[in-house]
Amino acid sequence: MKTAFRLAFLAAVAVLGFWLWTIFFPGPEKLVLRKISSLATTATFSASDSNITRAAKAGNLVGYFTTDAQIIFDAPGQAARTLSGRDEIREAAYGGFASLPALKVQFLDVTVRIGTDKQTADVNCTARVTAGDSKDYGVQEMHFQLKKVEGVWLVIRAETVKTLS
């Protein structure tokens, strides 16, 4: 009985230790997931947010991309558009944050594939975007390519994917 209790205690300690290890030293997959989730949070703003808050969020959004990042947007019913580099992304972000009353961005069903070199990652997900106070929302399959730059994961390419060709 005593031995069984000791074994159970050791197992519990091992599980706790592993859990703490993943908290303090997360793997690259977890870091990329956090980055993508954080990107969605930064791109989200409510109608009550002031212009200063919106401008700050738009500025922060640029920080998620590399200097030579590309955003390729080609969705049904929308004009195809490509943004190249941080300046164009910044300009589009400021424009979007200023013109829309509110925006809610969620990245759902996120799958992460880390490259063999552990320096690149491919992310596939479904973006769910709600503009304004409307209950209607748009969904769009997205593909992100991330690169580790000075220890930080940054988006090098973001593009829409045509689910139905």
Partner 1 sequence: MQSANDHSVRPHWLRVLIIGRRPKATLARIVVLVATCFVTFKFILLPIRIEGVSMLPTYHDRQINCVNRLAYLRHEPQRGDIVSVRLSDPGGIANPSVMFMKRIIGLPGETVSFRSGRAFINGQPLDEPYVKFSCDWEKEPVQCSPTQYYVVGDNRSMAFNFHTQGRAERDRIIGKLFL
Of 3, 24, 25, 77, which one interacts with partner 1 (CB under 8 A)?
Answer: 77
Of 93, 125, 146, 155, which one interacts with partner 1 (CB under 8 A)?
Answer: 125
The answer to whether 81 and 70 are in contact (CB under 8 A) is no
Fill in the per-residue mask, 14 to 53: x = in contact with partner 1 (CB under 8 A), - = not in contact. Answer: ----------------------------------------
DSSP helix, strand, coil percent of the chain (3-state; round to 5): 40, 35, 25
What backbone phi and psi angles, to 5 degrees, belong to 27? -75, 170
Of 22, 46, 111, 119, which one interacts with partner 1 (CB under 8 A)?
Answer: 111
Q: Which helix (H) or strand (E) holds 109?
A: strand 103-114
145 interacts with partner 1 by CB under 8 A: no
CA–CA dist 17, 22 (Å, integer): 9
109 interacts with partner 1 by CB under 8 A: yes
CA–CA dist 160, 165 (Å, integer): 12
128 interacts with partner 1 by CB under 8 A: yes
Q: Which residues bind partner 1 (CB under 8 A)?
A: 76-77, 108-111, 124-126, 128, 136, 139-142, 161-165
